[in-house]
Amino acid sequence: MQIKEYLGDEIAFYFAFFGHVTSGLLFLSAFCIVAQGFSLGSWKADGGAMYAEAVFAMLASGAYFLILHSWMYVESQKAILWEVRGCGKSVPPRPGFKGLVLKNPRTGKIVIDIPTWMRRPRLRFGNLVTLGFSLCMLLTVSAIFVLKNQIGTDSSQLVQLIPVALNSFQIKFYEILYGYVATKVTEYENHRTIAEHNSQRFKKLTIFHFLNSYAVLFYIAFVKGDCNDVLSGSSYCGRELGLQTLSTFIFNDFFTRISRFQGLLSTHA
């Protein structure tokens, strides 16, 4: 309630949602520790570690599904408690909205909006942009894996780390590029309210970032068959999967720190 009074309704619901998700996932921490311990202790066994991680992945997916559905109930409760239910229907147009003066056929009131036939082509264009960037990103990932196969297992470990570094760079590159494009495309779609604008932009970024960040990990975990190379040390793909995850995390952390350092320099300049 204090966040709502100080920062507004949208920020309050934002913190409420992530607080609900975090609290709901706390009980999975014990299962995570058990699954990780079993995985580390039985990775040399034939498929033992994979079975443990697969069971935990299914459990986590089911738990997250239940948490999201329970959030609908919690959201309705908070909307009534905070007296904001139904307020979206009377929200004024957002700044920058280019609408027309129209007459509502049901109520007869004058509203500022755009007709459906003008909105649909813009929404289709936004979906095509997201689809096009997703295809380009997947082609880039495929090219990197082709390069990795060409390098082979006879090369040194340093050379075999090149595709791993390229994957990390590809993730950050497309994240920055598409983030800029998604903002421009959402502005072009010309949504009436700030909530609609933010919702559409969030959907675009979520779909693309999910594919961009997890396409490589999904391929290694579920598609790639033989992981018997120098990097993994065994036929168990978890070693290569862990290396790729670690590389991505370190690269993103390094880039984030560099960006913040540049921001401090520009502020004090």
Q: In this predicted model, what pLDDT tens digit does every residue of 189-234 receive, in sequence order? A: 888 888 788 888 888 888 888 888 888 877 777 776 666 544 444 5
Q: Cα separation of 242 and 219, whole Å?
A: 13
Give the model's pLDDT for residue 181.
93
Q: Which residue ranges make up each domain of the chain?
A: 1-85, 123-269
The per-residue pLDDT for range 11-69, each reduced to its tens digit, is 787 888 888 888 888 877 777 777 777 766 665 555 556 666 667 777 777 787 788 88
What per-residue confidence (pLDDT) applies to 65? 79
pLDDT of residue 178: 92
What letter does residue 101 receive in the DSSP assignment? E
DSSP class of residue 93 equals: P
pLDDT tens column, 146-201: 887 787 666 666 777 788 788 888 888 898 899 999 999 999 988 888 878 888 88
**pLDDT score recorded for residue 125:** 93
Distance of alpha carbon 126 from alpha carbon 83, whole angstroms = 34
Q: Write down the pLDDT at residue 237.
A: 66
| pLDDT at 145 (0 to 100) | 81
In contact, 244 and 164? CB cutoff 8 Å = yes
pLDDT of residue 13: 79
Angle at 31 between CA 25 and CA 34, to 5 degrees: 150
Task: Write the CB contacts of 188 (distance below 8 Å, at least 6 apart in sequence).
Answer: 122, 125, 126
Q: Does the global pTM surpass 0.75?
A: no
> What is the rounded distance in angstroms from the CA atom of residue 141 to the CA atom of residue 214?
11
- pLDDT tens for each residue of 84-130: 665 555 567 778 788 777 776 677 777 777 777 888 898 999 999 99
Q: In terms of DSSP H, where are the helices of 190-237?
A: 194-218
